[in-house]
Chains A and B, each alone.
Chain A
């Protein structure tokens, strides 16, 4: 844990306490504790089914939680949701949906615009600036069905940028994008970090995880390790994340799930 967090007067940007999430009684996250300060680029690493996506969804109240709590700046998510941005997995939406790139990016403003009102000229300006930042401005009026995978991912990134948030959760923003797009996304992430944002990025590739992130959260059902990349990226801890130690825990979880199913 960074030393600044030990000062009780300043609540951490994100604090997770004993968070437990289960799907039909089978635990997906089990007693997760975490505290993260401002200006951090955090990679969330772990095997398939380790609960990476579930963790960020649970933080934003998108999935029901069985126990524990999540606080942002010491407050519940609902009070601060306009300060939290989100990049969901690309496959979660229908890319044949009849909207343009600009329409999608403007959706990043909807939380601020408020009910019943239309996006203003200022909102459009913000959206254009965000598209510029991900080099998609020439595509603003395109239908989203005409985009490549990398472009789709950048549209989602631009929509999150349009949220002008301080904390970002990104679910596999590098999935299925080419190397050039990946590099440009990393630049955007680092720019945000340098502005004082804290970013949580679910990531799959271990070698690049080491280059990209300041801190790593090694996750498999619970937190295996969290800390500066150099300290955490060790053969021993990775071994524990991807196999070994946790097999017993997973087996018990599996058994609980089976019990839940047979009831």
Chain B
């Protein structure tokens, strides 16, 4: 199986290329796009996207995307994604999104509509396209805001979204309001409950999501506020009570774009509350948080440099992790309560279709690590380095 993977990637690329060249013969309004990427990750300690201390190649993303504009008011769009990310994701193809976008109002100054189906959540600057390598600033998104260990919790919603945009001389305002079932998996359980416990986690009620964005006419300045409110339950028969988790995930975003550089910063807050998990876990009520500042510099067209600093905490009232270590009687070490990460990245666009990337990260703490990939928290290295390279193709 491991040997078959490069072959599968190659076949997908060939398939993608042939589709790309066939594009002019497609019916009008139908568009096909796609991407594929392969990464290599090496860490000095701790597993990240596979067995990275021995250099992992278990980081592959392949997406095929189709959209069909039947008329100016109706767009159908869908994407299938295969994502292999160490023990967090096995590469089995999944429907990333599949939706109908219906425009209800179009005026000179405003547009509004409704989207139905599986929708990517409009959270922060990057969530909607988080698995498309060309659309984000480094190989890895800032993990303290866009956790890959619980990505599915905030990735997509099966439901309905209202959206509206207002075009004014001072800029554009856009807003979304959505409701539906969140997509959850075992990664969510492992990350929220810090390890695996009996039963399985599932949505308890529909989630609610909202976003509000402003950008200046030439998009020099962009501000956003977005969030999701999610209710989950643990389906078990250990006790008569059904354990519940309620959480809110919200991001405040700001970006400035100049010709040769962009500055982005975001703050993420994640208050959550766990009830009725006794005797496996105590009741829990805390707020995780994460924030980063990031500078991308484009000295000349094919090259882009990235510098980022980020900090994230499992509990913002216990940034050092000492309370966590004491309460868990040493089972959860204090370094698992925080992550401070400095990242340096280089992007090289070889052509319109090919991109190469290299990235170095210096980590203090292991908060961002997946509990599924690193089940023994006591073995986490506190200070560790990450080096990664990635090749990506698109059409």
Q: Do A and B bind each other?
A: no
* Contact surface of A with B, Cβ cutoff 8 Å: none
* Contact surface of B with A, Cβ cutoff 8 Å: none
